[in-house]
Homo-oligomer: A and B are copies of this chain.
């Protein structure tokens, strides 16, 4: 044993120590537990969130929860659903009046669930905690972190040492881990220890009172999300499960003459203020479940990690104004992004340097969210939108050309994309192809495709061939750490050679696919649906044909046919492409005869799009794409 290797006690070693069991910590823990990692997960509160805090699940987050099989557990709580937002303004002394309403996720966004799901954060946390327990991870409470240190990351298997302590100081524990994750919220101890700066972004600071309860009111939009401005102040209304409603009531703003960021207000003061603002409507509280003053404004951390061993995520990295409803959703997507990358590295699939893309991808998203929030607030403070603008913004199905839109409409459309969660676009890097990516080939990013690297796969209905079930294609591969390769196979007959060539090259000794064959491949059950050959890939084949015309044994090369539950007929009708006979192909912008190939990252974002050609071109391009970040090199790269 070389002297540089640190001695470790196996019983105290973990793949990861996760500090904080809020949304970010729970999502990370849930993914990694499902994939078999050994986790030490602590939180310094004795119980999960009982009341209050975040509560809005964006459409994109609901897709994600569904992909994890957790959506029905969320929906079992009968959450409120926000489809539209109403704007109210003060109309002279007569009190407030409605100035307009619009869809929170308008038609131009192609969402499966075009609404925000409102449910108390505690219920959401418990859905994750139940899942964790099924996978053998439990959260150690109330414990805190008191110190940590990374030593010899090049040579040590468990380079991170973490000091933990019961909050009452009676017990201490030192553990060794491969990673440490700080999901401890805005006042992150780990961030402070790392000396990472945190920058406040919002030029206007606010103090908000947040009150959850049951009210009796004649205000007609109490079950809608509302933004109310009156000369007595501002309120935001958020409907909730079980007849509850959340009101955000502005207590102070840095634009006030007597601005004081520590200004507070009692429950009764805030209720009195709400009554004034809502005039001419009445409001009485039957029950207040939770009341808190919430002064946290917008801000962002300088770094998300210094060494790709100790990571931060969620509120530890970025905080949002409560009105933006971004906190929990951004936390989920941080964790998702990190989880699969850690898995890819630790399972020997990807190079360690993909971990650098966690910060570059997620920090850019947080920056643009915060920037956008400011622009949006500014625009709205100038004037309320005209009805015609709202109409224009809501109805259009975008044709890629938004030039005709004015600033207001553009900003509104962007706001819808952000608040629905579909606005996230990861920039070019080794995972997201761009012209500067090492994979250079004329088959990449074929003209016509609507798919973009770094963006989510477009939704589409298809018919599964083996059982004729109508399914949501983008949901067919569960979140299990695998890359999803979608072969839009086009015409059953005309593309036969291209399909065979794809299969032949895929199974060649030098392919990315062959390189990561499961070591236990001979023992895999014939019931295995997603990973019969490799833990890292699932192959889906979609023909532009009616289901009954597809005969798997005749039409599908055996490597693809083995994924028999992932062979589909593109024969479902879609309102967005009324004239197409192969709507899924059409939505992706693929020719119905020629098809195309999409490589989707385990988190659902497109990595690479190629055409499907005869010869080795398509697999060559995939080999080059995976060579850029995998632990092995594939194909004959000179050939490209």
Contacts A101-B548, A526-B216 hold; do A467 and B72 have CB atoms under 8 A apart? no
In the bound complex, do residue A551 and residue B467 qualify as a contact, i.e. CB atoms below 8 Å apart? no
Q: Which residues of B contact A221 (CB under 8 A)?
A: 466
Q: Which residues of B contact A216 (CB under 8 A)?
A: 526
Q: Per-position contact with B for A542-558: 1 when CB-CB < 8 Å, else 0?
A: 00000110011100000
- In the complex, how many angstroms separate the beta carbon of A74 from the nearest chain B beta carbon? 11
Q: Decide yes or no whether A527 CB sits under 8 A from chain B.
A: yes
The listed residue (B72, B243, B463) touching A527 by CB distance below 8 A is: B243
Q: Per-position contact with B for A109-145: 1 when CB-CB < 8 Å, else 0?
A: 0000001000000000000000000000000000000
Q: Decide yes or no whether A204 CB sits under 8 A from chain B.
A: no
Q: Which one of A77-85, A435-443, A500-508 is at the B interface? A: A77-85
Q: Decide yes or no whether A164 CB sits under 8 A from chain B.
A: no
- A243–B84 Cα gap in the complex (Å)? 41
In the bound complex, do residue A76 and residue B80 qualify as a contact, i.e. CB atoms below 8 Å apart? no
Within 8 A of B (CB), among A179-230: 214, 216, 218, 220-224
- A436–B547 Cα gap in the complex (Å)? 49
Contacts A72-B76, A75-B72, A243-B527 hold; do A83 and B467 have CB atoms under 8 A apart? yes
In the bound complex, do residue A81 and residue B467 qualify as a contact, i.e. CB atoms below 8 Å apart? yes
Q: Decide yes or no whether A470 CB sits under 8 A from chain B.
A: yes
Q: Which residues of B contact A80 (CB under 8 A)?
A: 467
Within 8 A of B (CB), among A66-120: 72, 75-76, 80-84, 100-101, 115
Q: Which residues of B contact A82 (CB under 8 A)?
A: 467-468
Q: Which residues of B contact A469 (CB under 8 A)?
A: 81, 83, 115
In the bound complex, do residue B551 and residue A220 qualify as a contact, i.e. CB atoms below 8 Å apart? yes
The listed residue (B76, B83, B224, B551) touching A470 by CB distance below 8 A is: B83
In the bound complex, do residue A224 and residue B526 qualify as a contact, i.e. CB atoms below 8 Å apart? no
Q: Which residues of B contact A25 (CB under 8 A)?
A: none
- A76–B216 Cα gap in the complex (Å)? 36
A selection of 11 A-B contacts at a CB cut-off of 8 Å is A80-B467, A81-B469, A82-B468, A83-B463, A83-B468, A83-B469, A83-B470, A84-B468, A101-B548, A222-B466, A573-B575
Which residues of A line the B interface, CB within 8 A?
72, 75-76, 80-84, 100-101, 115, 214, 216, 218, 220-224, 239, 243, 463, 466-470, 526-527, 547-548, 551-553, 573, 575
The 9 tightest CB contacts between A and B, nearest first, are A223-B467, A84-B468, A83-B468, A223-B466, A243-B527, A81-B469, A101-B548, A216-B526, A83-B469
